[in-house]
Structure formats: structure tokens, C-alpha cells
């Protein structure tokens, strides 16, 4: 392994201007003496977010401050951990004037392929002039894995498939709420977004192929991010697939592992419930699914109540789910859930003693800031009464005044028992920050 190979790799990337990028909204912030990483579900655009960072550096006259190495490059795939120092040696041999004077961004893709790579990262981040960004497949960048390997000196930034704002940006849609034409355009694009989801790889592909591609994504996640990532577990792949598909079919619905276990056993499988709990943690760690607990101070209450499950992308859930898939309200609810996560809110649901349920109890720094229902349409009077009743009952119990219902297109407000409930169309709510 020669220093010249790394010099060529570094310079080639600095001169590369072929990236066709849609700007992502995920902010990245480097932390002194820590490495950072971009984590998230497979195919959500993690590598392209690093290219966006590099483009930003180049646009600001700092292209020489980038050192990016992709470790599945055939020219260096035999490198050993004791040779990793060739990377910064190669960089500073090219740009000696930057040593200990300017910040340099080291971007390492798939560095986990090198056994013993962690010590090199720990060595680099000792310098205040080194910013280290690690990327890789979802299977290798699962929650907590790198933080453990780097002794707590790793901070992950979670990236999801496209938000509605990014979706509009990708298609070149100018956002305006001031004209009927502008609102019609947003409404029509929300229908499209609700139909095809936010995975970047689908956005310029004929819709006829979307479901097949999404199912291939799901299959790859099951195989690579679960089965291969945990190959020491001797996972029963058939059982894993049935459990994962059953779980994702419950998107937006209550779920207990014990209930799912009973249904799966009727299909002839033999297993312990602990196996399914382990599968659930693997699916969560791979960012394929999210679970939401009931809002309660008591840990016992949270533990004994069911969880609600959401998917990394509602169109993915619809493609994989049994039967007719998930309906519009569940898809919209999943969409709202993901947007709340992007805004870094804490999310729970609530169920009153009378059995009335509120979809989202939204908190920030352990303080409840709003209660939210999601309903595709409120035209049905019974549905309307049910949604309002649940909000009012929960608001009284939790002493919360900020109440809203997110719909596909309806807008307005209603006052009930001194509470004002805002009715907000999703195309407007998704663009608010």
C-alpha cells in the first residue's frame, strides 16, 4: 500500500463535480474530540448527504480541506489498520500548509471493513483541527454500535427519506401559499408524496415500478441489515420475514409482541416470545420501524400498555403490508410521525380511561407542547365527533391547551368547552417549522 494511491484518491474526490444532488435539510455539526456519523434506514441518502457537505466546502473555497476515503475501493481493500496513518500522511504531504492551522474534514465511508479501525479514528480526533464524519451501510451504523466501538466518542445524526419540503425541492416546485394556483400545486404534490413516499431512488422512476422497488428494499433490509448483521444468532429467516411483515402491516395501529406471537404460531412456527422481542429490537436498530409508547410518568404503565408502530416510510409499509395495504389515514399519520421526529420532538400516544385515543402527545424537553390527531378527512360526522372528543378528554386530563387535527385538505378551527382545536391541512403543516 503506497502513499501515492491515497494522494490520488483524495485529489480525485476534490476535483469530482459530477454529483446531481437534491439539497437535504439535515444539519451536520462537528463536535470537538468526537466523530460524527449519518445514520438512517437503507437507501435514504446518507452518502449523498456527505457529497452535499463536500459541495458546500467547494462552493466556499475549501475543497482542499476535504479528505474522503471510500474503503470498498478496490485499490485499498487490502489495507490493514496499522497502515491507516497513510491517509493523513498522504493528505498533509499534499497540503502541508494546513497542518495545525486549518480544520480538515475526513469523510470515511465503510471504514468498518478494516479490522481495528477504531484506534485510528480516536487518534485523528485528538486534534482540534480534525473533523471526522463516518458513513456506511445501515447494518454497520446501527444505533449505539459505533458509539460503543469509539468509547462514547461518536455522535449520530439521523437522516430519513425525503421530507415534503425536500420532495418539492427535488421536483423544482416553488412553495407559495398566497395564490390558489400555488395551493393547488402543493395539494397535488402532497397526493403524489402520499402515494410514492420519500425514498430518493424512486423519485424519477415510473410509478408502475415503485411497489416492486420498495419490496426489493424491504427484502434487502431483512437480509443485510438484520440477518447478515446478526449472523451469529442463526436467525430463522422465514420466521423473521413473517414477523417483520406482520409488524409492518400494523403501521399506525396498536401492537403487542404477545398478540403477534399467537397469530404467527397459528401458521406453524415454533419459537419463544423472546425471539420476537429480539427481532423487534433489530428492526428498530436498523431504522426500519419505530415504536411509540403511551404517555405516562409510570414506567409500569408504559410497559403494560401496547405500543403503536410506524414505518421508516409509509409507501414502503403499503408495499409490504398484507392485503390491501394501509389506508390513507394511517399513511398520513405515519407521515406526520416522521416529520415530528425530524423536528426532534418526543412523541407518545395517549388513551383515556374511557378508551378515547390521541395519536400524538408532542413534548420538548419533557414538557408537553401539543396534542395532535391525524385524520385524512373529517367529513363523516361520527369521525369528527370521535376525534374532537378524544382531544378534549385528553386535554383536560393532561392540562394541555394546544390542540390540533391534521387532515389532508380541511382547514379551520372549532371551540369546544373552552378549548380551541385547530384543523390544519397537511400540505400547510408539513411546511411549517
What pTM was computed for the model? 0.95
The continuous run of DSSP H or E covering 36 comes out as: strand 35-39
Q: For residue 52, what is its C-alpha cell?
A: 452535499
Q: Report pLDDT for 177.
A: 85
* 422 — pLDDT class (breaks 50, 70, 90): very high
Q: Is 424 helix (H, G, I), strand (E, B) or coil?
A: strand
Compute the average pLDDT of residues 196-203. 96
Q: Which CATH architecture has domain 328-433?
A: 3-Layer(aba) Sandwich (3.40)
Tell me which of 178 and 218 has the higher pLDDT: 218
Q: How many CA atoms lie within 13 A of 38 on its CB side?
A: 29
Contact 111, 67 (CB under 8 A): no
**DSSP category for residue 16:** -
Q: How many CA atoms lie within 13 A of 380 on its CB side?
A: 7
Pairing label, strands 367-374, 403-407: parallel
Calpha distance 399→395 (Å, rounded): 5
Contact residues for 318 (Cβ-Cβ < 8 A; gap 6+):
211, 325, 326, 331
Calpha distance 374→8 (Å, rounded): 53
pLDDT in tens, 18-66: 778 999 999 999 999 999 999 999 999 999 999 999 999 999 999 999 9
Torsion of CA 273, 274, 280, 282, to 10 degrees: -150
Q: Report pLDDT for 286.
A: 94
Contact 90, 3 (CB under 8 A): yes
pLDDT in tens, 101-154: 999 999 999 998 899 999 999 999 999 999 999 998 777 776 566 667 787 899
Calpha distance 220→241 (Å, rounded): 11
Q: In the chain, where are the structural domains located?
A: 3-158, 328-433
Residue 330: phi and psi, rounded to 5, are -65, -40
pLDDT in tens, 370-412: 999 999 999 999 999 999 999 999 999 999 999 999 999 999 9
Calpha distance 317→289 (Å, rounded): 10
Vertex 46: Cα angle to 51 and 283 (nearest 5)? 175
Neighbours of 287 (CB within 10 A): 22
Q: Report pLDDT for 141.
A: 74
Per the DSSP assignment, residues forming a β-bridge with 68 are 107
Q: String of b and e for 366-380 (b: at least 16 CB within 10 Å)? A: eebebbbbbbbebee
Q: What is the CATH code for 3-158?
A: 3.40.50
Amino acid at each position: 500500500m503506497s502513499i501515492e494511491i491515497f494522494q490520488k484518491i483524495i485529489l480525485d474526490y476534490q476535483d469530482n463535480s459530477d454529483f446531481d444532488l437534491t439539497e437535504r435539510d439535515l444539519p451536520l455539526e462537528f463536535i470537538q474530540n468526537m466523530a460524527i456519523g449519518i445514520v438512517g434506514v437503507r437507501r435514504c441518502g446518507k452518502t449523498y448527504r456527505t457529497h452535499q457537505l463536500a459541495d458546500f466546502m467547494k462552493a466556499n473555497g475549501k475543497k482542499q480541506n476535504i479528505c474522503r476515503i471510500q474503503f470498498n475501493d478496490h485499490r485499498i481493500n487490502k489495507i490493514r489498520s496499522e497502515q491507516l496513518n497513510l491517509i493523513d500522511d498522504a493528505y498533509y504531504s499534499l497540503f502541508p500548509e494546513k497542518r495545525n492551522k486549518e480544520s480538515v474534514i475526513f469523510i470515511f465511508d465503510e471504514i468498518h471493513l478494516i479490522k481495528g479501525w477504531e484506534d485510528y479514528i480516536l487518534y485523528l480526533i485528538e486534534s482540534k483541527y480534525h473533523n471526522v464524519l463516518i458513513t456506511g451501510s445501515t447494518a454497520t451504523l446501527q444505533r449505539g454500535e459505533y458509539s460503543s466501538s469509539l468509547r462514547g466518542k461518536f455522535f449520530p445524526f439521523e437522516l430519513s427519506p425525503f421530507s415534503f419540503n425536500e420532495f418539492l425541492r427535488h421536483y423544482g416546485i416553488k412553495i407559495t401559499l398566497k395564490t390558489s394556483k400555488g395551493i393547488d400545486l402543493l395539494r397535488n404534490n402532497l397526493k403524489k408524496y402520499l402515494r410514492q413516499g420519500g425514498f430518493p431512488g424512486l423519485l424519477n422512476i415510473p410509478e408502475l415500478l415503485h411497489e416492486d422497488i420498495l419490496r426489493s428494499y424491504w427484502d434487502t433490509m431483512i437480509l443485510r441489515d438484520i440477518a447478515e448483521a446478526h449472523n451469529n444468532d442463526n436467525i430463522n429467516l422465514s420466521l423473521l420475514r413473517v414477523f417483520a411483515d406482520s409488524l409492518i402491516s400494523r403501521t399506525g395501529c396498536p401492537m403487542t409482541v404477545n398478540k403477534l406471537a399467537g397469530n404467527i404460531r397459528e401458521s406453524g412456527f415454533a419459537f419463544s416470545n423472546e425471539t420476537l422481542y429480539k427481532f423487534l429490537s433489530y428492526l428498530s436498530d436498523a431504522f426500519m420501524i419505530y415504536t411509540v409508547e403511551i404517555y405516562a410518568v409510570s414506567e409500569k404503565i408504559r410497559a403494560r400498555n401496547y405500543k403503536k408502530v410506524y414505518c421508516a416510510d409509509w409507501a414502503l409499509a403499503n408495499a409490504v403490508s398484507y392485503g390491501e395495504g394501509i389506508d390513507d389515514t394511517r399513511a398520513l399519520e405515519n407521515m406526520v410521525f416522521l416529520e415530528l421526529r425530524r423536528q426532534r420532538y418526543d412523541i407518545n400516544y395517549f388513551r383515556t380511561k374511557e378508551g378515547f385515543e390521541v395519536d400524538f402527545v408532542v413534548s420538548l424537553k419533557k414538557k408537553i407542547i401539543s396534542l395532535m390527531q391525524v385524520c385524512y378527512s373529517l367529513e363523516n360526522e361520527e369521525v369528527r365527533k370521535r376525534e374532537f372528543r378524544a382531544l378534549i378528554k385528553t386535554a383536560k386530563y393532561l392540562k394541555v391547551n394546544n390542540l390540533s387535527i391534521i387532515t389532508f385538505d380541511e382547514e379551520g378551527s372549532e371551540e369546544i368547552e373552552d378549548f380551541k382545536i385547530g384543523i390544519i391541512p397537511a400540505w400547510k403543516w408539513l411546511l411549517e417549522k
